[in-house]
Structure 1
Amino acid sequence: MSTDKSSATLSVIIPVYNVKNYLETAVDSILNQTVTPSEVVIVDDGSTDGSGDMLEQLYGHIPFVRIVHTENRGLGEARNEGNRHATGDYIYYFDSDDVAVPTLVESFYRHLAEHPALDIYCFSAASFWDVVPEDPEAAKLLPQYDRQLDQPYESGVSAFNILSERSAFYPNAWLYVFRRALIVDNNLWFMPIIHEDEEFTPRLFFVAQQVVSSTEVLFRRRVRMGSIMQTNRSERNVVGYIESIRSLEALKSQAQDSTVIKNLSTRILNNIIAIYRILKEDGVVLSDESSRRFNDLLERNSTPQVKLAGRSLFAFRVYNFAQRRAKQLFGS
């Protein structure tokens, strides 16, 4: 490990909840970076599988590691708690069942040296199966997170637009290093919902100035059954998407640029499609209140694509594929 870096400090925040089998691999991938982060804040979010005790035994003696124990409040609140304890100039939210590539911190500092006013550093990621599915076709369905571009952007809005146009804007917080002041000064905290990244990351981009994207793969996402994103979905997932859509609608209502409006509309559409998938594929039945809220947002976002998805997800996928192919062949 090395401590060669600029005077700017980096805090890595790691929320932990019942991931004892993956915890050591994940945390060690942060501690064994080629450049050591200034501080690691680990938030045990009320784990019941012994993860909290394991943290104290393995890492409680390390001076730059701070371990915080809280009652279970969810991923977003655990990240917020970590931020309240963090002291770094920059924040990286890392997930406790994934793996950081050894050069992640080094890459961040290299780009920071080139762009001292950096607000957001965006990088690429790959996925791997925790246990490879028996179905060979299913085994191929691993999400990839390719930024496609190595370049700086004059503003967060510009970065949002350019990356969105290339389908290379991802909301996942573990794909970014953020300037901490961006969060604190603008009072931008995670909402206490599932899918909190869907609305958190766009809000940060809309208050950011300098952003840099990189095609370097610096994060490896573990895809496993039983994680937040792979469990059977419920009404809570729908509520999370509804709240995210409301936040995106607020950004859209303030936008004046047509490209921004178009890209925010696409993100809203993606969240609506996610809700339809939960309702149709998981058979989730909504409460009267959630059903009313969903119908209200459908009225506010009544586009041909939304109506098509409501009738048939398969037809929507065919339409969407045809649109993408036409764009590839003939341009925008």
Structure 2
Amino acid sequence: MIRNSINITNSPVPVLLFSKSGGLSLKGMFSRKKPKISVVIPVYNVENYLRQCLDSVINQTLDDIEIICVNDGSTDSSPDILEEYSRKDSRIRIISQENMGLSGARNTGMKYIKGEYVYFLDSDDYIELDALNQMYNISKNNSLDMLMFKTCSFDDVSGKNYTTPYFEMEFLEEMVKDNVFSYRDLGEKMYDLAVAVHGVVFKSDLVSDIRFPQGLIFEDNPFFTEALFRAKKVMFYRHYLHHYRTRSDSLSNAGSRNFSDIIEIRNRIIELAKKYDNFEEYAAVLYKKKLYNIRSRFLNTSDEYKEDFFAKIQADFKKHEKEYKTSEAFKQLKRYYKSIFNAGLTSKDYKEFESKIDRK
């Protein structure tokens, strides 16, 4: 059985591909048959969860897939687990690199995908055993660019399953039902969608030149948004195909050091709206989203990081002051949103800013 293992440093070009016997092999890298789905799995220090994730993928009812695992500089036993699984399943390709973060790992994986569709799965989550088959058949039968579906969360400690309004998207279910749609059919509600890429399978051609923003958290936002702007045919499959593990040490839950990234992320969403001629109509919505997200993330940031966060807020607000204050859409915002912006401009320090925006 072939073990597909690539080691890279800063180069996007594969350096070595070894067979089980240790000799150089090209088998598996240049398969003539195009897989139906490429599954990209970033891996970083997840030895306690990786087996459950991989088991859910290698045992899929859809066989014609490729599994691209990007070892992002793991220092635990995750690389050994990947090697173990690659010896059992030749569909697994391991790409090892220095740590570049979640976005960097996904972007590396995208350089090697050959599937008709691509699905991004985090290595501490798992999917239903018929998930990829359902994703492919629905997407193929309806000539979709994107298929969205539901995510069920589960607590890492208790194992309890639960759902959240964010992933349920009841408003979307009511709006589109089982029909094909595009972002234009959603109006301003497109900015309320769950943007997590683990809840979407994409046509590979649609996203071939889109990349996740490296060095930022909330990285799914601009990737998903640009893909949605491009997609002509989207569906919402009202079934739970993905299981999302909630961990107290995850980037999104314990990453308040990086919560200030939301400023850059929201700016990128605004720029994408401008790029795809969606800004003028929904400028007010985009301004509200930015200000609300900044306030929310700031108030949930640990005190030790608030000074730096506030400095970035103030710099950003000053940079956009003229643009925003001369915008008719901004002028129409409720006082609540304007007060956040004005507080960022006028507060002398983060404590004053916090006192102004934390009023109920």
Which residue does the alignment assign to 1:253? 274
| Shift in CA distance, 258/289, structure 1 to aligned 2, threshold 3 Å | closer
Which residue does the alignment assign to 1:124? 150
1:233 aligns with 2:256: yes
1:183 aligns with 2:207: yes
Distance 1:143 1:154 in 2: 23
Contact residue 11 and residue 40 of structure 1 kept, 8 A: yes
Contact residue 58 and residue 89 of structure 2 kept, 8 A: no
| Shift in CA distance, 93/270, structure 1 to aligned 2, threshold 3 Å | farther
1:306 aligns with 2:327: no
| Shift in CA distance, 104/285, structure 1 to aligned 2, threshold 3 Å | same
Counterpart of 1:277 (choices 299, 305, 314) is 299
How large is the Cα RMSD of the aligned pairs? Answer: 2.9
Which residue does the alignment assign to 2:352? none
AA of the residue aligned to 1:284: K
Distance 2:70 2:86 in 1: 12
Distance 2:190 2:134 in 1: 23
Counterpart of 2:236 (choices 192, 213, 217) is 213
Instruction: Summarize deviations over 1:228-261 as a string: whole Å, max 9, x none.
Output: 1121511x331x2122111111133353576644
Which residue does the alignment assign to 2:112? 85
Contact residue 188 and residue 282 of structure 2 kept, 8 A: no
Aligned-partner SS, 1:284: helix
Report % sequence identity. Answer: 26
> Is there any run of 5+ residues in structure 1 with no aligned partner, and where?
1-6, 134-138, 316-332
Distance 1:258 1:287 in 2: 29
Distance 2:287 2:63 in 1: 40
Distance 2:162 2:305 in 1: 22
1:203 aligns with 2:226: yes
Distance 1:53 1:221 in 2: 24
Shift of 1:283: 5.1
Counterpart of 2:69 (choices 14, 36, 42) is 42
Distance 2:291 2:313 in 1: 17
AA of the residue aligned to 1:276: F
Contact residue 150 and residue 242 of structure 2 kept, 8 A: yes
Shift of 1:161: 3.4
Distance 2:231 2:290 in 1: 21
Distance 2:303 2:338 in 1: 18
Contact residue 153 and residue 159 of structure 1 kept, 8 A: no
Shift of 1:270: 4.4
> Is there any run of 5+ residues in structure 2 with no aligned partner, and where?
1-33, 325-329, 344-355
Which has the higher relative contact order, 1 or 2, with Cα contacts under 8 A spaced 6 or more apart? 1
| Shift in CA distance, 307/85, structure 1 to aligned 2, threshold 3 Å | same
Distance 2:66 2:161 in 1: 37
AA of the residue aligned to 2:217: I
Which residue does the alignment assign to 1:29? 56
| Shift in CA distance, 256/22, structure 1 to aligned 2, threshold 3 Å | closer
Count of aligned pairs between the two proteins: 296
Distance 2:112 2:94 in 1: 10
Counterpart of 1:243 (choices 264, 275, 281) is 264
Aligned-partner SS, 1:128: strand
Shift of 1:57: 1.6
Distance 1:99 1:314 in 2: 40
Which residue does the alignment assign to 1:51? 78
1:108 aligns with 2:139: no
* Deviating more after overlay: 78-87 vs 51-60: 51-60
Distance 2:246 2:314 in 1: 33
Q: TM-score, normalised on structure 2? A: 0.73
| Shift in CA distance, 158/20, structure 1 to aligned 2, threshold 3 Å | same
Distance 2:161 2:38 in 1: 34
Counterparts of 1:66-81 in structure 2 under 5 Å?
Answer: 66-81=93-108
Shift of 1:171: 1.1
Contact residue 15 and residue 95 of structure 1 kept, 8 A: yes
Distance 1:305 1:261 in 2: 17
Aligned-partner SS, 1:151: coil
AA of the residue aligned to 2:312: S
Shift of 1:288: 8.4
Contact residue 11 and residue 37 of structure 1 kept, 8 A: no
